[in-house]
Amino acid sequence: MTHIGAGNEEDLPRLFREVERMADTFTDGMRELDERRVTGADSTGRVVATVTGSAQLLHVRIDPRAMRDLDHVTLSQAVLDAVGAARQTAAEGLDELLGRLNGGRPQPAPEDNPFTRYFDEFLRESGHG
């Protein structure tokens, strides 16, 4: 998107078209992410979590050996690790989508991005985080 100078009203329709295009790209991308299935596992591979591309948890599979060999604390950590790994992979897909929106320019680190807090809150409220 280009910078529009003050007082240049002829550029407003182009700006609105660009914003609409970006919104369409984002909506299509989120739909694509919702349809994607991503898995992640704990370090042993005995617990596998499946999430959508927008990080919504769909399924956790626990190998019967994990039920036998791990105590409840270790097993719960394995579940958290598997879900975290799956969500991390899903986040990479979201980064890809955001890259398409900004023309492939690198995204700022989350701690440097002033919108991170708002985006995380949006995902939680919409059931994706």
Side chain identity at residue 23, one-letter code: A
DSSP 8-state symbol, 97 = H
pTM value? 0.64
- Which CATH number is 37-125 given? 3.30.1310.10
Reported as a single tens digit per residue, the pLDDT across 2-21 is 444 455 666 888 888 888 88
B/e letters for 23-40, b = 16+ CB within 10 Å, e = fewer, are: eeeeeebbeebeeeebbb
**Residues whose CB is less than 8 angstroms from the CB of residue 100 and which lie 6 or more positions away in sequence, other chains included:** 25, 29
Alpha-carbon 62 to chain mean position? 24
Reported as a single tens digit per residue, the pLDDT across 102-124 is 766 666 666 776 667 766 776 67
Task: Count the neighbouring beta carbons within 10 Å of the beta carbon of residue 42.
Answer: 24
Domain boundaries, the chain: 37-125
46, pLDDT greater than 90: yes
